[in-house]
């Protein structure tokens, strides 16, 4: 993906003092940040930039959402800033990751199984409409958030590891934020009976716990792995011993 500037983004100052403050992020997405990203990619039409921003923010405000909202996207972007400040991510990787993070949950219907592919389609459509090259990398990063074992291949593997770790960082959030997330997910699946939801949710959480490692990058593993396992263990334990 081509950028107008070749500066290394890891040289910019961090926007927060410690990674822990990410969970205190606000729920409003920044037009200024979106505009800056688009311009880095060579998109100069102010009208198109603002129109797409309104489309994205409207999507993240849909009524079926409780977790997959602007709050989640804001946390992901703040985590990206933190990762860039503590790694050797290149400007090209940064741009691809940021665009993918903006779009990765832009289509979200809890009962659907193609949210990631439809989100990738929307990102690709916007980028192609403005002649941004190498849209495949953004598409691949969004599809990596399906969280399958073989989530990427070729040149995208390293960048996809960052994408997946950022998306899963919520598992290693502070207990207060983790339990907020836990209840937000239940609200998104309110259409499921308690017993069905409880069974399926335990399976998903147990699968994460069974992994040798949850986070694939050293940075996220050192920061979030222990807390994620503590959070997940508590959630599974409480679920098993609670009434359906």
> What does the block give as tokens for 45?
């039409």
Determine contact, residues 34/54, Cβ cutoff 8 Å: no
The residues, ordered by sequence, that sit 6+ positions from 138 with a Cβ below 8 Å of its Cβ are: 1, 96, 99, 100, 103, 120, 123, 124, 127
- The length of the chain in residues reads 244
Q: What is the pLDDT of residues 149-181, one digit of tens each?
A: 666 556 678 999 999 999 999 999 999 999 999
% residues pLDDT > 70 (the chain):
85
Comparing CA positions, the residue from 143, 201, 146, 183 lying closest to residue 168 is 146
Neighbouring CB atoms inside 10 A of 209's CB total: 15
Q: What is the pLDDT of residue 226?
A: 97
Residue 79: its pLDDT value, please? 96
Q: What whole-number distance in Å separates Cα of residue 242 and Cα of residue 226?
A: 24
In the chain, which residue ranges form alpha helices assigned H by DSSP? 31-40, 46-60, 70-85, 91-103, 115-129, 135-144, 157-168, 175-188, 194-210, 218-240
Please name each of the domains of the chain with its CATH number.
9-240 (1.10.1300.10)
| Banded model confidence at residue 17, pLDDT cuts 50, 70, 90 | very low
- For residue 41, give the DSSP letter: T
In the predicted model, is pLDDT for residue 238 greater than 80?
A: yes
Q: What is the pTM of this model?
A: 0.89
pLDDT digits (tens, 9 = 90+) for 186-231: 999 999 999 999 999 999 999 999 999 999 999 999 999 999 999 9
Distances (CA, A) of 8 to 87, 158, 170: 11, 17, 27
CA angle 135, 142, 149 (to 5 degrees): 125
Instruction: List, for residues 48-91, the tens digit of each pLDDT value.
Output: 999 999 999 999 999 999 999 999 999 999 999 999 999 999 99
Check: CB of residue 201 under 8 Å from CB of residue 192: no
3-state secondary structure 159-202: HHHHHHHHHHHHHHCCHHHHHHHHHHHHHHCCCCCHHHHHHHHH
Q: Are 142 and 127 in contact (CB under 8 A)?
A: no
CB atoms within 10 A of CB 169: 25
Give the closest residue to 94 by CA, choosing from 155, 168, 41, 173: 41
């Amino acid at each position: 993906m081509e950028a107008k500037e070749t500066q290394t983004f890891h040289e910019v100052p961090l926007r927060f003092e410690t990674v822990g403050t990410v969970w205190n992020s606000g729920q409003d997405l920044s037009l200024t940040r979106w505009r800056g990203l688009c311009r880095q990619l060579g998109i100069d039409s102010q009208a198109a930039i603002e129109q797409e921003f309104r489309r994205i923010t409207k999507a993240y405000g849909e009524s079926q959402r409780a977790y997959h909202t602007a709050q989640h996207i804001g946390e992901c972007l703040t985590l990206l800033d933190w990762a860039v400040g503590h790694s050797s991510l290149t400007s090209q990787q940064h741009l691809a990751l940021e665009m993918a993070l903006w779009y990765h949950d832009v289509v979200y219907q809890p009962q659907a199984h193609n949210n990631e592919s439809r989100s990738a389609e929307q990102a690709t459509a916007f980028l192609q409409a403005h002649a941004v090259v190498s849209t495949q990398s953004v598409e691949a990063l969004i599809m990596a958030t399906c969280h399958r074992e073989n989530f990427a291949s070729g040149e995208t593997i390293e960048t996809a590891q960052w994408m997946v770790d950022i998306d899963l960082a919520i598992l290693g959030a502070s207990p207060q934020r983790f339990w907020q997330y836990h209840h937000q997910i239940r609200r998104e699946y309110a259409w499921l009976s308690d017993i069905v939801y409880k069974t399926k949710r335990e399976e998903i959480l147990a699968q994460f716990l069974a992994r040798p490692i949850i986070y694939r990058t050293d940075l996220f593993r050192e920061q979030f792995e222990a807390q994620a396992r503590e959070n997940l263990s508590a959630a599974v334990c409480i679920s098993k011993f609670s009434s359906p």
